[in-house]
Amino acid sequence: MQTTRIGCGAGFAGDRIEPAEDLLRRAGLADLVLECLGERTIALAQLRRLADHTAGYDHRLPARFARLLPPAVEHGVRVLTNMGAANPLAAGRVTRALLDRIGARAAVAVVTGDDVLAEIDLDAPAWENGIPLREHGEIVSANAYLGADAIAMALETGADVVITGRVADPSLFLAPLAHRLGWDPGDVATTAAGTLVGHLLECAGQLTGGYFADPGYQDVPDLAHLGFPFADVAADGTAELGKLAGTGGVLSRATVREQLLYEITDPAAYRTPDVVLDVRAVTVDEHRGGVRVAGARGAPRPDRLKVSVGYRAGKKIEAEISYVGPNAAARAALAGEIVTTRLSGRPLRAEVLGGETDCRLRVAAISRDDAVLDAIGDEVESLYTNGPAGGGGVRVHIGEVLGIASTLIPRDLVRPVVTVVEAADAAP
Amino acid sequence: MLLHDLAHCRAGDKGNVATLSVFPYEEHLFPLLSREVTAERVREHLAEFVAGEVVRHELPLLSALHFVCHQVVDGGVTTSLALDTHGKSLSSRLLSLPIDVAWTPLPRAAT
């Protein structure tokens, strides 16, 4: 039976690069996926784009691609990523320029159409709390989760590098699998199987022991050189998960089970733009050094797509001070009472973290008023000379907060667009 | 004995919903865990952190108990004031659940 090998080279925006390089050079991959776009990341990226129209894609993209595209080109591995974030076209141009610089002819295709800020009804209630979207705060972004059908349009152009904004994470894997294996997008069984593979791979090292070690209980070998996973997927949808020989980490029934249920709120109905996945009959078996998974089931794809709406929620302050030695917890608690009294009426959270003799008072608050935030920071800092004995190590951090609310949008209001990015200096 | 002696756990989050998957180290302990680690006990144990309903899903093919916890107190990631905004440490908190049963890790040799 025909099989294809797909790897995951990043499971979040800050992920390590070396394991992906290793996969490109040694794994014989057909496709490599770099999943780098968290729920909030795209709203933050949108703020950067508003400040600079050439920005708004993953700021690590140039560094990541500078290391990964040369081996991808050399080994003929197709690369798919959501590092386009809030500005996939700008990401495509940067990528094109990088490929031109190294003399690679690899084709770059960009998927847009996930930005639906103009389409959604801001008077609709957020599904988290029922409050109308516009009442959450100034809305800065609204991105629909596109599916494998949008990515397939990019693959049909013959692209070697596909860059998207918001797409469902498993769709980044399902689309290339379906393209390689000739799956019909209307076939629920293979769509469910490919979605399962994507769901398992999308967090990269979390499948191969990167979030598993518990010394003495679950020991993971050579975590410093954690390897990332790949899957050999057969045309019938069964998959064998593996990682490269010589890499650290562990891939086992235990690690795969953890990832299988990760973030699944209903094992009978995990909704993606492509399918409603049912994992209850999935089997996970260790087999010849890898792990075999089968048994994904599903129901046809939903009529509506999820939309993440980003809004300005103010700024968050986190201010801390340490107390150690005898009676440290009591001194930290006293410090918390003092700050709370001095800031009476301000909504804040004061808590003592750590043990009896080594602990840290932490004060946190979110506000849209800078004066309130500054007052909190000042009161924690002034504990140095206006609080209990022996306080030290004050740190104050203030950062902008983007809230996320969710809503749904009818599928027919979302129009994915694919753009093939030509060399900047190419004559029209 | 703590649940930590018998099982491992992974937390996930979707907005203010937390998922907690519990897996026995030894699969023959799945019936024991199913009996001991009820939705009610999980809700009581995490009462400080979970305000809403706790739903338990049983997945025998995976020897897994999957708890879906609603209205996580510090949930929501983006606007949470907690240090661990995702609630990832809920998994370890759950593993501190006492399991009040006699348990023998290996069959005793006949003497």
Give mean pLDDT, residues A282-311.
96
Q: Which of A189-193, A238-242, B49-53, B98-102 is least confident?
A: B98-102
Q: For the CA atoms of chain A, what is the radius of gyration?
A: 24
Please tell me the distance in Å from A281's CA to the nearest CA on chain B: 7
Contact A164, A306 (CB under 8 A): no
Please give the pLDDT value at position B102: 67
By the CB < 8 Å criterion, does A403 face chain B? yes
- Other beta carbons within 10 angstroms of residue B41's beta carbon come to 17
- Other beta carbons within 10 angstroms of residue A14's beta carbon come to 9
Interchain proximity B78–A364, CB inside 8 Å:
no
What values do phi and psi take at B39, rounded to 5?
-60, -40
Interchain proximity B68–A265, CB inside 8 Å:
yes
Contact A155, A182 (CB under 8 A): no
Bridge partners of residue A109, in order along the sequence:
A162, A420
Q: Report residue A174 as tokens.
A: 């399902």
Bridge partners of residue A396, in order along the sequence:
A319
Interchain proximity B57–A267, CB inside 8 Å:
yes
Distances (CA, A) of A406 to A134, A142, A271, B77, B99: 12, 9, 14, 13, 38
> What DSSP letter does each residue of A168-223 carry, written as one string?
-TTHHHHHHHHHHHT--TT-HHHHHHHHHHHHHHTTGGGTTTTTT-BTTTB--TTG
Q: Where are the domains of chain B?
A: 3-95
Distances (CA, A) of A135 to A139, A372, B20, B30, B40: 9, 22, 32, 46, 36
Supply the CATH classification number for the domain A309-406.
3.30.70.1150
What values do phi and psi take at B68, rounded to 5?
-110, 115
**Average pLDDT over chain B, rounded to whole?**
89
Query: How far is it, in rounded angstroms, from Cα B21 to Cα A327?
Result: 38
Please give the pLDDT value at position B77: 66
Interchain proximity B13–A263, CB inside 8 Å:
yes
Q: Where are the domains of chain A?
A: 3-305+407-421, 309-406
Fold type of domain B3-95: Alpha-Beta Plaits (3.30.70)
- Other beta carbons within 10 angstroms of residue A235's beta carbon come to 16
Q: Which of A265, A280, A282 sits opposite B14 (nearest CB)?
A: A265
* Residue A307: closest CA among A18, A25, A43: A43
**Per-residue pLDDT tens for B14-23?**
888 999 999 9
Interface mutation vs chain B, best among A203, A261, A408, most B CBs within 10 Å: A261
Per CB-CB distance under 8 Å, the chain B contacts of A258 are 8, 10, 21, 23
Q: Closest residue of B to A206, CA-based?
A: B10
Please report, in angstroms and rounded to a whole number, the separation of the first and last CA atoms in chain B.
Answer: 26
* Residue A142: closest CA among A400, A405, A401: A405
**Average pLDDT over chain A, rounded to whole?**
96
Q: Closest residue of A to B22, CA-based?
A: A258
Give mean pLDDT, residues A197-218.
97
Please give the pLDDT value at position A273: 98
Confidence band (pLDDT; 50, 70, 90) for A129? confident
Query: How far is it, in rounded angstroms, from Cα B25 to Cα B32?
Result: 12
Interchain proximity B21–A261, CB inside 8 Å:
yes
Distance of CA A402 to the CA centre of its chain: 16
Has residue B74 got a pLDDT over 80? no
As a whole-number percent, the residues of chain A with pLDDT over 70 amount to: 99
Q: Report residue A423 as tokens.
A: 């060399």
B/e letters for A102-115, b = 16+ CB within 10 Å, e = fewer, are eebebbbbbbbbbb
- Other beta carbons within 10 angstroms of residue A131's beta carbon come to 11
Name every residue whose Cβ is closer than 8 Å to that of residue A219 and which is 6 or more positions away in sequence. A213
Please give the pLDDT value at position A44: 87
Q: Strand, coil or helix: what is A294?
A: strand
Interchain proximity A401–B79, CB inside 8 Å:
yes
Q: Which of A149-158, A251-260, B19-28, B79-88 is least confident?
A: B79-88
Per CB-CB distance under 8 Å, the chain B contacts of A279 are 59
Per CB-CB distance under 8 Å, the chain A contacts of B19 are 261-265
- Residue A128 C-beta-side C-alpha neighbours within 13 Å: 22
Contact A339, A379 (CB under 8 A): yes
Q: Report residue A55 as tokens.
A: 């920005």
Q: Which of A106-120, A320-334, B90-104 is least confident?
A: B90-104
Q: Closest residue of B to A283, CA-based?
A: B61
* Residue A380: closest CA among A367, A393, A399: A393
